[in-house]
Structure 1
Amino acid sequence: MSVAALCPCGSGRRYAACCGTVHSGARPARTAEILMRSRYSAYVLRLEAYLLHTWHPATRPERLDLQDDPARWLGLTVRSTRAGGPQDDTGEVSFTARYRVDGESFRLDEDSRFVRLDGSWVYLDGEGGTGAR
């Protein structure tokens, strides 16, 4: 992705100054929402290693196969956050992610839970579902 391109997370900032710094390890995710946005961007960019690294070991899959995933991610809307700040150890982020597969539009509505593990935010799990848009 071009460093001048807007970040896929929808922040309105350039990727290089937003999720790019979290993906590269130059800046840790300070909040659960920042981690969730960086994970969405990682799905867009198919950064499997980053996604696995930021997934809690108790719920993390052995592997991801995003290279053959037909989803084309279209946008992210954060609906709400609960806790998950710099001083918290847990947090929740509710979001809607829109995507397209073979010309058909879908949306993923999820309430995600995050925890601090060894000082870093990680994705624990989420509830929600996918439906046609």
Structure 2
Amino acid sequence: MTTSGHPAIEYIRIDKWLWTARFYKTRSLAAQAIAAGHVRLAGHPVKPARDLRCGDSLEIAIGDTIWSVVVRGLNEQRRPAVEAQQLYEETRASSERRATQRETRLLAPVPGSDLRGRPTKKARRQIRGFNEGF
């Protein structure tokens, strides 16, 4: 994916591609994820400077979500999300797995996920009373 008038690029660093495809907010976060082993190229761990080409398959673990994508385009600049989604194609198994995880989260939310901010004065009294009872 290039603009007219510029030659097409054949390869790009994997950390830069993850940043341009908007999997990570910064390039350094992408490099940290790669170094931690959260990104695999064709099933093998890689280093941030590894060259990525069109047709390569990646497994990207972000939190508890695992993306399996095939690289469809290369771009050196970070573009809007709509254009960034054209740089890769998610596999059918990956999209089904993510949909199942999304449904599971909706049906059984994590306990305490509805709590926001600091407890109120009344809630603090209840907590203190509960803790002093033991």
Q: Which protein is bigger by CA-based radius of gyration?
A: 2
TM-score normalised by L of structure 2: 0.28
TM-score normalised by L of structure 1: 0.28
Relative to its length, the structure with more helix (as a share) is 2
